[in-house]
């Protein structure tokens, strides 16, 4: 777990390139390269990392090295958050020394079946067991709700349905809820209203936003979320990512672009943007292609 920080940032940017990003890549990135990325991210001030996921290596071969990776990651100043689809994954993540378990489900039944091959109820069946395991192992639990703003199969998603799922997670001990716009269907007005709705109904639970750019609105949605009081955002180095089970999935916001935006506005992120740009350059070398991030091409605003 990371140490207490004296200079608390105003917003927390949570890095998901290692999980959401790399699982969308066609090939497997070597564990050694993942470790180089993690060290570069840590050097740039990243604290919260979605480091990997303990899922079936048949389903997501890009993350088949979850155990080995977790055995070798640097621990100082980093919080290693690990996605787990069920109690088996949770046990593996706990054994591997995860700092935090991330449980997840889609707000849309169809998307959940396409994503993990079971119903929403089945996805949530292990929640009590996972929660108990986390409590025993002194791990925090957070929950992510996919397609929270719209589903490519079912269309509009009712925010009351999302809240009902969130309440169950909170009841089982989750202290953070991530609302994920998995396929970039949200608009700034919807973000504003949904955040206000969650702050009304779950005032003691931290809300994190995870925003994809399928319709070019991720940056506007992030800014709307910030104005509505959100203090934690998922981003991905270089802007890589997208859900493998979603048609035309587009990437996350680039970590370095979001950090640059906040710092230019005088909102402290605790990050060194030039360090992030170097890390994005490393990722570009590892993946062997140009990445969608903009600040790595244009430089910082400063």
Binding site for its own copies (CB under 8 A): 150, 183-185, 187-190, 213-220, 222-224, 227, 239, 248, 250, 253-254, 257-258, 260-261, 264-266, 293-295, 297-301
Residue 244: DSSP 8-state: T
For residue 177, the minimal CB distance to its own copies (Å) is 23
Query: How close are the terminal C-alpha atoms of the chain, in Å?
Result: 32
Query: With respect to its own copies, which residue has the nearer C-beta, 184 or 270?
Result: 184
CB 166 within 8 A of CB 198: yes
Query: With respect to its own copies, which residue has the nearer C-beta, 285 or 298?
Result: 298
Would you call 243 a catalytic residue per the annotation?
Answer: yes
For residue 248, the minimal CB distance to its own copies (Å) is 5
Residue 15 bridge partners (DSSP): 49, 235
Query: With respect to its own copies, which residue has the nearer C-beta, 84 or 253?
Result: 253
Catalytic pick among 79, 151, 208, 243? 243
For residue 4, the minimal CB distance to its own copies (Å) is 29
Query: With respect to its own copies, which residue has the nearer C-beta, 117 or 299?
Result: 299
CA distances (Å), 55 to each of 60, 113, 115, 248, in order?
Answer: 7, 15, 12, 23
Round to whole Å and give the CA distance between 228 and 122.
Answer: 33
- Give the phi and the psi of residue 140 in degrees, each rounded to 5: -80, 160
CB 149 within 8 A of CB 179: yes
Give the chain's length: 302
Residues with a catalytic annotation lie at: 243
């Amino acid at each position: 777990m990371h140490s207490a920080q004296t200079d608390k940032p105003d917003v927390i940017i949570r890095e998901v390139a290692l999980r959401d990003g790399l699982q969308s890549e066609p090939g497997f990135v070597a564990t050694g390269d993942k470790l180089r990325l993690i060290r570069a991210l840590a050097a740039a001030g990243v604290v919260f990392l979605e480091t990997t996921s303990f899922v079936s290596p048949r389903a997501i071969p890009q993350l088949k090295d979850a155990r080995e990776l977790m055995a070798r990651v640097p621990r100082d100043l980093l919080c290693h958050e690990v996605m787990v689809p069920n109690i088996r994954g949770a046990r593996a993540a706990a054994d591997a020394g995860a700092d935090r378990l991330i449980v997840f489900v889609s707000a849309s039944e169809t998307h959940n079946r396409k994503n993990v091959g079971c119903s929403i109820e089945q996805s949530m069946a292990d929640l009590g067991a996972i929660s108990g395991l986390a409590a025993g192992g002194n791990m925090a639990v957070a929950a992510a709700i996919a397609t929270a703003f719209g589903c490519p199969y079912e269309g509009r998603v009712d925010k009351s349905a999302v809240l009902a799922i969130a309440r169950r997670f909170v009841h089982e001990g989750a202290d953070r809820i991530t609302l994920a716009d998995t396929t970039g269907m949200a608009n700034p007005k919807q973000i504003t209203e949904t955040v206000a709705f969650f702050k009304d109904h779950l005032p003691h639970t931290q809300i994190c936003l995870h925003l994809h750019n399928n319709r070019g609105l991720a940056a506007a949605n992030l800014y709307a979320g910030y104005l509505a009081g959100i203090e934690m955002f998922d981003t991905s180095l270089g802007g890589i990512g997208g859900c493998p089970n979603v048609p035309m999935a587009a990437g996350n916001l680039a970590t370095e672009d979001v950090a640059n935006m906040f710092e230019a506005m005088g909102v402290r992120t605790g990050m060194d943007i030039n360090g992030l740009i170097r890390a994005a350059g490393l990722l570009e070398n590892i993946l062997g292609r140009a990445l969608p991030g903009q600040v790595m091409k244009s430089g910082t605003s400063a």
